[in-house]
Structure 1
Amino acid sequence: MPSRRQFLTTTALTAATHAFAAPADNDIRIALIGCGGRGTGACNQALSAGSMVKLVAVVDPLEGKAQAALDILKEKHEGQVDVPPDQVFTNFEDYQKAFALADVVLITTPPGPRPFLFEQAIKAGKHVFMEKPVAVDAVGVRRVLAASEEAKKKQLNVCVGFQRRYAPSYIDVINRIQGGEIGDLIYGRVYWNGTSRPGAPRLPGESELHYQIRNWYFFTWMSGDHILEQHCHNLDVANWVLQGKMPVRAVGQGGRQVRRAKENGTIFDHHTVEFEYDNGFRLLSQCCQIGGKCQKDVSEHFHGIKGSADLANNGRFLINGQPPGGKRQRAGAGNKEDAYQLEHDAFFENIRTGKVRNDADYAAHSTMMGVMGRMATYTGQIITWEQALNSKESLVPDNITWATEAPVKPDAEGWYPVAIPGTTMPL
């Protein structure tokens, strides 16, 4: 897990059907569902949102994960971690027990199970922090949108880990774009081009499901592929800039150039997609995990009839080549903004004060853009928004236990099926 992602935060709240009111002791009790590096970092930030936030339960079915997270969090937050042994859960189905103990639920599992867990948390009346992307297929996206409507009826807060939405640098520049400083928009470019990473080798005697969950990033049913798992951040920025306007069609190319090992599962190592909008705007999208001497770039760029805006370009935010305010400095210089912490601060402040903010709708649509892009690159076909959103492809089983059959299987030689553009058909 890259270091910058290990300090993403997750959280979810109480079993009430109305905005949360803190109990008499003023503690806000949280349960952590998913105790990997990302979940541990998320819980660290949730606990950093105030001394009244207390961790009371953890859930992770992979051996040792839950206790490892607790050891780290106890050291960082003395007095805020109160998790007795009988509240350290190691079965998938134990999420229900954790929900019952907590006011807030942090859903930081791999992406695949998130729609199911989010749906269950909202049914239980919990406020939720959920990592991004919120699903790996259109079926999951539709479930998240439906659960979001229920959250609105119950006045529940939902925060999603698109932390750029809480970053002052992004907020400032996007407000200025929407205010017309670069004029009507013509096209945009978004990038997440980075390094490759190794897959996990299989352990002796390991079951197929256990292996795929432990090596989750390399299986589309668990991660959604990196166009979704990482690049969704950039796609969400475009969604934000365009004020929620969705593309009407997408066409793309992708494949596997360096991922040639069995432990690389089913995902690609590069994707390039062109998203087209009904007003003629085009969004050019690139993401790769090639490594070597390939250019590395994580940034967003928008071009209008009056000029351009560059976001996070080498760490700088520029409008027509100049930083906002006229001072050339790196993002966060001076104010040391930490958007990961800011989103949790805002989430818990809303809970404390009875305000309600729900990020689920825009998060679901930004996730859907990633699914749409993957459908385009996996098939090599033009994919429309309606076709993507209404897709019947369902990658993830509900109520996963260790008895669940793995959704994909290797062949006799241990190789997993990989999409072939021009041959693989959309569902």
Structure 2
Amino acid sequence: MSKDNKITRREFLSYSAVAGVAGALGFSPLLSSCGNSKKTAYVPLKAPGEYYIPELPDKAADGKELKAGVIGCGGRGSGAAENFLAAANGVTITALGDVFDDRLQGLKNTLKDKYQIEVADDKCFTGFDAYKNVIDSGVDVVIIATPPFFRPEHFKYATEKGVHSFLEKPICVDPEGYRTVMAAAKQAQAKGLCVITGTQRHHQRPYVESYKKVQEGLIGEITGGNVYWNQPMLWYRNREKGWSDMEWMIRDWVNWKWLSGDHIVEQHVHNIDVFNWFSGYKPKRATAFGSRQRRVTGDQYDNFSVDFEYDNGVHMHSMCRQIDGCDSNVSEFIQGTKGSWSSTDFAIRDLQGNIVWQYDSATEDAAHQQNDPYTLEHVNWISCIRNNTPIVQAEETATSNMCAIMGRESAYTGKSVSWDEMTASPLNLTPAKMELGPMDMSIYTVPVPGTGK
């Protein structure tokens, strides 16, 4: 029996004090400015043209028909497939792959019933090698939404074959996967491919406009920040009769660290990524703690607290928790020498607390019909492909992914972890056998930091 999500991933897209409206915000040049009438001189952090701003129309640019394959047909893969179809005209899905046939058939039926897209039986593939068959089936693009552990190899193969990738986050769970992604990203750049990752805040209009204002210098030089993803417990699946060890773990993947990376990697990477994106900084050290208090299955923690120290001495505090009955907060706060920005209301305040700029959601809602960032990331992806404008987000996302891995390993061990030692670490969470059968479950234990005395 499964425990239903109490709050879904989509509902938590920008959960905060104003979460009820954040997911529906639009975008246009009309943004509100508040505060004193006196002109303030701002020094840009970067000049226009030195940072990337996506174009976010309601639909992608028209152009050649694109055939997509979907690897991983569960909830996120099915959602991404529908986002892809909503993002543009002249796109379709021609191949499906999943370890489990029931997952594949679920998406296949949805495509037929809802979109009149009938994927041929000979383009439906199951098993651990299904990804190769999907990529080799003649698709132009591939949506990679398997459990996170599998994504580096799937991205690597798609890149080798010259196929554009939508790569759901997180894109790795260990240093070995990180290095695989970084190498594939460089290859994708060399081939002129378009790779968009599922860090959807990069395609959420209030975040994009906030980023522009921070780069324009409205909060000054960034001196620190706090990022949060605190929510009730996520779903889990109890083992059912007939399931092997491997099948149970994959069907319950979000609770096992080798498959998900733990929730600091699987989920909280979004918030860590926002600070890295806005600041342009890279951490040199993480010092963390965490624990397991309420989780039902798996071998993960259910809370983390991390102090990230960046190359320039700036510190950012990261906090995430998945426990029922506790306060929820999914947001980011960034402090600068002239003011601060917060995603709770997408506002910039000066050092006295006066709002000097705030995102105008009402105007943006009136200007756009499509405000879902899960769809807008596909809008940008398809437009880049059709306009022959290469883009590869995998390296940037892998950096934030590695930050989360650093925090996880510091909490697990009770030791401070440096960027250099973590990126060079031989840590590899790959199981001894990749098959639907028995596993040595004794190695999947909850980490205990320190001496244990």
Bucket of the pairwise TM-score, normalised by the shorter protein: 0.7 to 0.9
Contact 1:7–1:40 (8 Å) recurs in 2 = no
Displacement after TM superposition at 1:51 (Å): 2.9
Aligned to 1:422: 450
Aligned to 1:344: 378
CA pair 324-168 structure 1, distance change in 2 beyond 3 A:
farther
Provide the rounded CA distance (Å) in 2 between the counterparts of 1:150 and 1:327: 38
Question: Structure 1 unaligned runs (5+)?
Answer: 9-24
Aligned to 2:342: 310
Provide the rounded CA distance (Å) in 1 between the counterparts of 2:314 and 2:265: 22
In the alignment, residue 270 of structure 1 is paired with which amino acid? N
Aligned to 1:13: none
- Output aligned runs, 1:280-291, within 5 Å: 280-291=313-324
Provide the rounded CA distance (Å) in 1 between the counterparts of 2:225 and 2:136: 45
Q: Does 1:232 align with 2:259?
A: no
Q: Which stretch shows the higher mean deviation, 173-182 or 377-386?
A: 173-182
Task: For residues 24-69 of structure 1, give each alpha carbon's deviation from its aligned partner in whole angstroms, at most 9, with x where no partner exists.
Answer: x942111100000100000001111223111111111223111111
Aligned to 1:379: 413
Structure 1 consecutive aligned stretches of length 4 or more whose deviation exceeds 6 Å = none
CA pair 7-307 structure 1, distance change in 2 beyond 3 A:
closer
- Output aligned runs, 1:403-422, within 5 Å: 406=439, 409-410=441-442, 416-422=444-450
Aligned to 1:89: 125
Aligned to 1:361: 395
Provide the rounded CA distance (Å) in 1 between the counterparts of 2:420 and 2:261: 19
Aligned partner of 2:244 among 204, 207, 219: 207
Displacement after TM superposition at 1:117 (Å): 0.7
In the alignment, residue 194 of structure 1 is paired with which amino acid? Q
Matched position secondary structure for 1:291:
coil
**Alpha carbon RMSD of aligned pairs, Å?**
2.4
Matched position secondary structure for 2:101:
coil
Displacement after TM superposition at 1:241 (Å): 1.1
Provide the rounded CA distance (Å) in 2 between the counterparts of 1:99 and 1:6: 32
In the alignment, residue 75 of structure 1 is paired with which amino acid? D
Provide the rounded CA distance (Å) in 1 between the counterparts of 2:70 and 2:243: 26
Displacement after TM superposition at 1:239 (Å): 1.0
Contact 1:310–1:318 (8 Å) recurs in 2 = yes
Matched position secondary structure for 2:441:
coil
Aligned to 1:185: 222
Question: Structure 2 unaligned runs (5+)?
Answer: 14-62
Task: For residues 77-104 of structure 1, give each alpha carbon's deviation from its aligned partner in whole angstroms, at most 9, with x where no partner exists.
Answer: 23xx241112121222122221122111
Contact 2:292–2:302 (8 Å) recurs in 1 = yes
Q: Does 1:135 align with 2:172?
A: yes
Displacement after TM superposition at 1:325 (Å): 4.9
Aligned to 2:68: 30
- Output aligned runs, 1:149-168, within 5 Å: 149-168=186-205
In the alignment, residue 397 of structure 2 is paired with which amino acid? A
Matched position secondary structure for 2:133:
helix
Aligned residue pairs: how many? 392
Aligned partner of 2:285 among 229, 249, 269: 249
Matched position secondary structure for 1:92:
coil
Aligned to 1:68: 106
Displacement after TM superposition at 1:352 (Å): 1.2
CA pair 87-104 structure 1, distance change in 2 beyond 3 A:
same
Q: Which stretch shows the higher mean deviation, 161-170 or 31-40?
A: 161-170
Provide the rounded CA distance (Å) in 2 between the counterparts of 1:322 and 1:109: 45
Contact 1:167–1:338 (8 Å) recurs in 2 = yes
Contact 1:111–1:132 (8 Å) recurs in 2 = yes
CA pair 377-364 structure 1, distance change in 2 beyond 3 A:
same
Matched position secondary structure for 2:428:
coil
In the alignment, residue 74 of structure 1 is paired with which amino acid? K
Contact 2:223–2:314 (8 Å) recurs in 1 = yes
Aligned to 1:395: 429
Task: For residues 318-338 of structure 1, give each alpha carbon's deviation from its aligned partner in whole angstroms, at most 9, with x where no partner exists.
Answer: 111566755775896545622
Provide the rounded CA distance (Å) in 2 between the counterparts of 1:351 and 1:329: 29
Aligned to 1:274: 307
Matched position secondary structure for 1:283:
strand
Matched position secondary structure for 1:285:
strand
Task: For residues 327-379 of structure 1, give each alpha carbon's deviation from its aligned partner in whole angstroms, at most 9, with x where no partner exists.
Answer: 77589654562211111001011111211111011011011011011011111
CA pair 327-48 structure 1, distance change in 2 beyond 3 A:
closer
Q: TM-score, normalised by structure 2?
A: 0.82
Which one scores higher on RCO, CA 8 angstroms, separation ≥ 6? 2
- Output aligned runs, 1:102-117, within 5 Å: 102-117=139-154
Provide the rounded CA distance (Å) in 2 between the counterparts of 1:295 and 1:145: 36
In the alignment, residue 304 of structure 1 is paired with which amino acid? G
CA pair 247-327 structure 1, distance change in 2 beyond 3 A:
closer
Contact 2:234–2:322 (8 Å) recurs in 1 = yes
Q: Does 1:3 align with 2:8?
A: yes
Contact 1:93–1:399 (8 Å) recurs in 2 = no
